[in-house]
Amino acid sequence: MVSTSSNVRVLARVRPAQPQEYQYEQATEALEATHIRLSSSSTLQSYESVYDCVLPDSASQAQVYGQSSGHGIVPRAVHELLQALEQRRSAACGSAAAGAAGESKLVLSYLETYNDRLYDLLQPYKPGSSRDPCRLAVGKTSLEVREDPLAGTHVPNLLYVDVQSSGQVLQLVAAGNCNRATAHTDRNQHSSRSHAILQFWLEQRPPAGAAAARDSTVVRSKLNFVDLTGSERWGKAHTEAEGGKSCDVSELTSINNSLSALAQVVAALTDRSAKHVPYRSSRLTHLLQDSLGGNCCTSLIVTLAPCADAFQESLATLRFADRARNIANRAVVNSAHDTDTILALKEREIQRLRVLLASYASAGGGLRSLDSLQQQQQQQQQQQLGAEGGQGGAEQQCVKEDQQQEPALQSLALLLPPSSPSTPFAPQAAGAAQSAGQ
Q: Which of 88, 140, 151, 146 is nearest to 114 (CA)?
A: 140
Burial annotation 322-361 (CB, 10 A radius, 16+ → b, else e)? bbbbebebeeeebeeebeebeeeeeeeeeeeeeeeeeeee
Helix axes 365-415, 339-363, angle to 10 degrees: 80
Residue 358 has pLDDT above 70, yes or no: yes
Q: For the chain, how many structural domains are there in total?
A: 1
> By the 8 A CB rule, do 306 and 184 touch?
no
Q: For residue 279, tell me if it sits in a domain.
A: yes
Q: How far are the Cα atoms of 389, 390, 398, 400, 402 from residue 394, in angstroms, in the given order?
A: 9, 6, 6, 10, 13
Q: Which amino acid is residue 31, in one-letter code?
A: L
Choose between 214 and 292: higher pLDDT. 292
Task: List the domain range (segments joined by +) for residue 215.
Answer: 3-8+73-262+269-295+329-346
**Whole-angstrom Cα distance, residue 324 to residue 354?**
60
Q: How far are the Cα atoms of 74, 119, 429 from residue 133, in angstroms, in the given order?
A: 27, 16, 122
In this prediction, residues 193-213 reach a mean pLDDT of 76
Domain with residue 208: its CATH number is 3.40.850.10
> Among 96-105, 130-139, 255-264, which range has the highest average pLDDT?
255-264
Q: For residue 214, tell me if it sits in a domain.
A: yes
Q: What is the mean pLDDT of the chain?
A: 74
> By the 8 A CB rule, do 101 and 91 touch?
yes
Per-residue pLDDT at 103: 78
Q: For residue 173, tell me if it sits in a domain.
A: yes
Per-residue pLDDT at 240: 41
pLDDT band per the 50, 70, 90 thresholds, residue 241: very low
Per-residue pLDDT at 76: 86
pLDDT band per the 50, 70, 90 thresholds, residue 98: very low
> By the 8 A CB rule, do 321 and 206 touch?
no
State pLDDT tens for residues 10-41.
999 998 888 888 888 888 888 888 899 998 88
Q: For residue 312, tell me if it sits in a domain.
A: no
Choose between 46 and 364: higher pLDDT. 46
Per-position DSSP letters for 128-167, written without gaps between them: T---BTTBTTTTPPEE--EEETTTEEE-TT---EE--SHH
In this prediction, residues 163-181 reach a mean pLDDT of 90
Q: For residue 116, tell me if it sits in a domain.
A: yes
**Whole-angstrom Cα distance, residue 367 to residue 375?**
12
**Whole-angstrom Cα distance, residue 276 to residue 358?**
61
State pLDDT tens for residues 246-257.
457 778 888 888
pLDDT band per the 50, 70, 90 thresholds, residue 198: very high
Q: For residue 207, tell me if it sits in a domain.
A: yes
Q: For residue 352, tell me if it sits in a domain.
A: no
Residue 427, φ and ψ in degrees, nearest 5 = -65, -35
Q: Which of 183, 176, 310 is nearest to 254 (CA)?
A: 183
**Whole-angstrom Cα distance, residue 267 to residue 94?**
51
Q: What angle do CA 27, 14, 239 make, to 5 degrees?
A: 75
Per-residue pLDDT at 61: 73
> By the 8 A CB rule, do 23 and 14 touch?
no
- In terms of DSSP H, where are the helices of 185-331? 211-214, 234-237, 249-270, 283-287, 289-292, 311-325
Residue 99 has pLDDT above 90, yes or no: no
Per-position DSSP letters for 309-341, written without gaps between them: GGHHHHHHHHHHHHHHHT-EEEEE--EEE-HHH
Element (H, E) at 418: none
Per-position DSSP letters for 13-24, written without gaps between them: EEPPPPGGGTTS
> Among 136-150, 190-204, 224-238, 384-398, which range has the highest average pLDDT?
190-204
